[in-house]
């Protein structure tokens, strides 16, 4: 087993030659990115582990025709990325945007977690607005379920809690799987504050969505509603469970007593 020496978010480890495609991307980085961004990307490269990367490629379904097709991984564990957030959260919004455009999943995760930290720490509405608009204008880079789930509620949901929520409904009507998931997961911010109306409306709208990752997200949010108000969730389920995709229903009823789960699944509730 390789041993690492931790200093802030850096590790000392032997380097392996970069593939040709990666070398071309590194040259592009050197040409267009700031010194700060180059430093961060070089540090991520030093943290890479090919064994972890290979596992992540499989776990996040990056094969042809799969939901994460073409995504690339350096091979860095999430706790390590979170330590890097603490080190780099003060970088500029422009640098954060550049990292978000990286072809590497962990770099995009780092950028999104930095955006979340920046949004939480921002005191002026103009700062929050800039972060929110950056997020929504870069959704093509927020293209896997973990990237959505770590960020949507904390930026989109938080920003729209006291605002017009029409942008969420535009998201859930998108042709993009990931934009629809952003719309769904953003309502987690509302659910945590016992504001359920938008989550229920979106759930009803997405009952016939064909994507399994949307079924899971919607079922998860409905389950979270049930944790806070079982009456509200069960009333919704009573009216809609017969039409729900199986995965959505299973996720929604996961925490109910076994007898109730069986009744829903057998259609006898």
Q: Are residues 182 and 247 in the same domain?
A: yes
Q: 230-264: per-residue pLDDT in tens?
A: 999 999 999 999 999 999 999 999 999 999 999 99
Q: Last residue of some domain: 89, 116, 138?
A: 138
CATH number at residue 163: 1.25.10.90
Q: What percent of the chain has pLDDT over 90?
A: 86
Q: 173-187: per-residue pLDDT in tens?
A: 999 999 999 999 999
Does 145 map to a domain?
no
Q: How far apart are CA 39 and CA 145, in angstroms?
A: 27
Q: Which domain holds residue 187?
A: 151-269
Q: How far is CA 53 from the centre of its chain?
A: 18
Q: Are residues 11 and 117 in the same domain?
A: yes
**Residue 226: closest CA among 201, 183, 256, 267:** 256
Does 108 map to a domain?
yes
The CA distances from residue 181 to 63, 184, 204, 218, 261, in Å, are 20, 5, 14, 8, 25
Q: Are residues 211 and 130 in the same domain?
A: no
Q: Are residues 82 and 115 in the same domain?
A: yes
Q: Are residues 114 and 84 in the same domain?
A: yes
Q: Are residues 105 and 182 in the same domain?
A: no
Q: What is the mean pLDDT of residues 185-213?
A: 98
Q: What pLDDT does residue 22 have?
A: 59
The CA distances from residue 182 to 107, 152, 170, 185, in Å, are 19, 5, 11, 5
Q: Are residues 180 and 265 in the same domain?
A: yes
Q: Would you give the DSSP letter of residue 155?
A: I
Q: What pLDDT does residue 254 have?
A: 96
User: Helix count (H) and strand count (E) of the chain?
Assistant: 18, 0
Are 139 and 178 in contact, with CB atoms under 8 Å apart?
A: yes
Q: 91-146: per-residue pLDDT in tens?
A: 999 999 999 999 999 999 999 999 999 999 999 999 999 999 999 999 999 999 99
pLDDT greater than 90 at residue 157: yes
Q: Are residues 175 and 127 in the same domain?
A: no
Q: Are residues 116 and 3 in the same domain?
A: yes
């Amino acid at each position: 087993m390789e041993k690492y020496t931790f200093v802030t978010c850096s590790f000392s480890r032997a380097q392996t030659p970069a593939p040709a495609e990666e070398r071309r991307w590194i040259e592009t980085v050197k040409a267009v990115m700031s010194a700060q961004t180059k430093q961060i990307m070089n540090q991520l490269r030093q943290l890479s582990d090919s064994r972890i990367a290979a596992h992540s490629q499989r776990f996040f379904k990056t094969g042809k025709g799969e939901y994460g097709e073409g995504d690339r991984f350096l091979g860095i564990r999430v706790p390590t990325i979170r330590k890097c957030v603490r080190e780099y959260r003060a970088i500029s919004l422009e640098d954060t945007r550049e990292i978000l455009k990286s072809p590497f999943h962990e770099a995009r995760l780092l950028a999104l977690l930095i955006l979340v930290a920046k949004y939480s720490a921002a005191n002026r509405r103009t700062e929050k607005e800039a972060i929110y608009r950056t997020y929504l204008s870069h959704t093509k880079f927020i293209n896997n379920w973990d990237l959505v789930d770590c960020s949507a509620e904390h930026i989109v949901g938080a920003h729209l809690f006291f605002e017009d929520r029409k942008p969420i409904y535009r998201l859930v009507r998108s042709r993009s799987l990931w934009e629809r998931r952003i719309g769904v997961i953003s309502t987690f911010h509302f659910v945590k504050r016992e504001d359920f109306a938008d989550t229920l409306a979106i759930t009803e709208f997405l009952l016939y969505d064909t994507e399994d990752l949307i079924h899971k997200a919607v079922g998860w949010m409905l389950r979270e509603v049930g944790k806070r108000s079982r009456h509200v969730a069960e009333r919704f389920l009573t009216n809609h469970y017969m039409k729900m995709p199986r995965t959505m229903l299973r996720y929604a009823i996961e925490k109910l007593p076994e007898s109730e789960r069986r009744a829903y699944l057998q259609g006898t509730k």
